[in-house]
Amino acid sequence: MDSYICASKGYAIGEVYIYEDIKLQSFPDKTDNVETEITRLKDTVKICKKQIEEIARKIRNSVGNKEAEILESHISLLNDPEFIGEIFQEIKDSKKTSEKAVSDVVSKLEEIFSQFDDDEYLKERAADIKDVGTRLIRILSDEEQKDLENLPENSIIVAHDLKPSETARIDKDKVVGIITETGSQTSHTAIMARAMNITAIVGFRDILAKVETGDMVIIDSISGKVIINPDKDIIKHYKELKHKFEKQKEGLKKILDKKIITKDGRKIMVAANIGSLAEVNVALSNGAEGIGLFRTEFLYMDRNSMPSEEEQFEVYKQVAQKMGNKPVIIRTLDIGGDKTLPYLNLTKEDNPFLGVRAIRLCLQNRNIFKIQLRALLRASIYGHIKIMFPMIGSLKELTSAKTILKECMKELQEKSIDFKNNMEMGMMVEIPAAAVMADEFAKHVDFFSIGTNDLIQYTLAVDRMNEGLSDLYNPMNPAVLHLIKTSIHAAHANGIPCYMCGEMAADFSAIPILLGYGLDEFSVSSASILEVKNFILETINQ
């Protein structure tokens, strides 16, 4: 049975266009003229920047700022003195040609990133580096890219993979679907496809061996099917499904501003999970009633040094301002053995998911923690920011985190810097120990937010990244449900709300149960907000 990921929901009916990236021609390894190669590389970097800027401009105008940022991260790479500097150094030290130097540095970095094959963010960074490297070599070798801008109408692109700059060149008025052999829900291909409203399935292994250019294909990324060369009756059936789906999508816009009130008068909110400032506008356009989770670790990645207090302050301030009086829950740094930062020099751990990560890392690195907390406190006067501590497993950890927060408040007061004294502070319930002792923890915080992704894997002792154990990773396991129910009831017994920001918050099979338990807020991806809101409204009105 074929397995794949429905990355962008919808139905697509069209003809296959096989996209196989043109293989780079061989190039000489060595040069006798180092200065000439250095000049060639400098000129190529300039041309490369202009090309990417032009693609980013088109994407910003036709798709959106968030998607353009994917391309702009490529420009950041070209401006990175370490990345480009290492290529120049290869030319100088080893007398390599520009092509060879680029190829070797990119291969080296790809190898480093491949060590973290369970980290989707780092996978995408490796894809970015490869994309930039390939573009540099193409320019150096005067090679053209395969055309993706002038395909016939109703084309379905089938490829092993699509790099960000390739996806950006797709004409969304002519391409109705994408199928790739690699990728994930968070891959650049998936993100771009959702933003461009192109139906997409990724991770379909060996699809290239099953179709040819010109084949008729139906993509059903609602129920997860790819039908090759269907008969007329099946095509007719899917045309009807497609029409119905598009009509339903249009209808969801009517509930953008609708409030959810249960029959017993409880207000339920649907908020957004975001990882960057650019995602705020997308969340708002989809009717987000707040930010239920702002993952701050992305501020620390893709750089060579720690973000300063000022840098962080500006980001938190802008998020708060854009959200107005809507709540913004900002999670403090959640990074550790499984997501390393090169400038932290973290010790490699045998079992990183049970190691020094999240709040444990912050408590061991108080200076890093305090920089972030001061930035959050300073930004609090610009909106409705709430601070959330991740991976809390003991009262000692929670008390230590609150003590450091108070120290930061005192430091700001001494410098006469404004902040909100009554800023809400909460914790994630993602370690079973926290759920078991939820009644005690609830006495010391202003809210809970259940992180189901980790709670499930820790409760069931199942690695959620291990495909061989996917049948055991079950959100509906009675033990998991018991811990969730315990956490929600403990919160309410102590007069505080309980939210959820894990994948389970968007699981239609779980939502009725969570509503029954009394969950106060469902925080999901921006793309899922309207569907989740609509499902909740239908559920409570039955």
pLDDT at position 186: 61
Same domain, 158 and 293: no
pLDDT at position 466: 62
Distances (CA, A) of 3 to 123, 180, 295: 20, 12, 29
SS (HEC) of 95-158: CECHHHHHHHHHHHHHHHHHHHCCCHHHHHHHHHHHHHHHHHHHHHHCCCCCCCCCCCCCEEEE
Which of 188, 362, 384, 498 is the catalytic position? 188
pLDDT in tens, 338-351: 456 667 776 776 66
227 vs 238: CA distance, rounded Å: 10
Q: Is 454 annotated as a binding residue?
A: yes
pLDDT in tens, 215-229: 999 999 998 899 999
Could you tell me which of 405, 479, 417 has the C-alpha nearest to residue 446? 405
Same domain, 289 and 324: yes
Q: What is the DSSP pairing of strand 155-159 with strand 175-180?
A: parallel
Q: Is 357 annotated as a binding residue?
A: no
Q: Is 374 annotated as a binding residue?
A: no
Range of the domain at 187: 1-20+146-240
Same domain, 316 and 345: yes
- Write the CATH number for 80: 1.10.274.10
Q: Is 40 annotated as a binding residue?
A: no
First-residue to last-residue Cα distance in the chain: 37
State the total domains in the chain: 3
428 vs 449: CA distance, rounded Å: 5
Residue 45 structure tokens: 């970097």
Decide if 501 is catalytic: yes
Same domain, 419 and 438: yes
Give the number of other CB atoms < 10 A from CB of residue 413.
12
pLDDT at position 306: 87
Same domain, 76 and 224: no
Same domain, 422 and 277: yes
Same domain, 16 and 81: no
- Residue 381, domain member (yes or no): yes
pLDDT in tens, 390-436: 999 999 999 999 999 999 999 999 999 999 999 999 999 999 999 99
Could you write out the DSSP letters of every residue in 393-442?
-SHHHHHHHHHHHHHHHHHHHHTT----TT--EEEEE-SHHHHHTHHHHT
Cβ 154 vs Cβ 176: under 8 Å? yes
Residue 197 structure tokens: 């409203």
Decide if 498 is catalytic: no
Q: State the pTM of this model.
A: 0.68
Q: In what order do the strands lie in the sheet with 216-220?
A: 5-8, 199-202, 175-180, 155-159, 11-19, 216-220, 225-228
The count of residues in the chain is 542
Q: Is 295 annotated as a binding residue?
A: yes
Average pLDDT, integer, range 122-148: 79
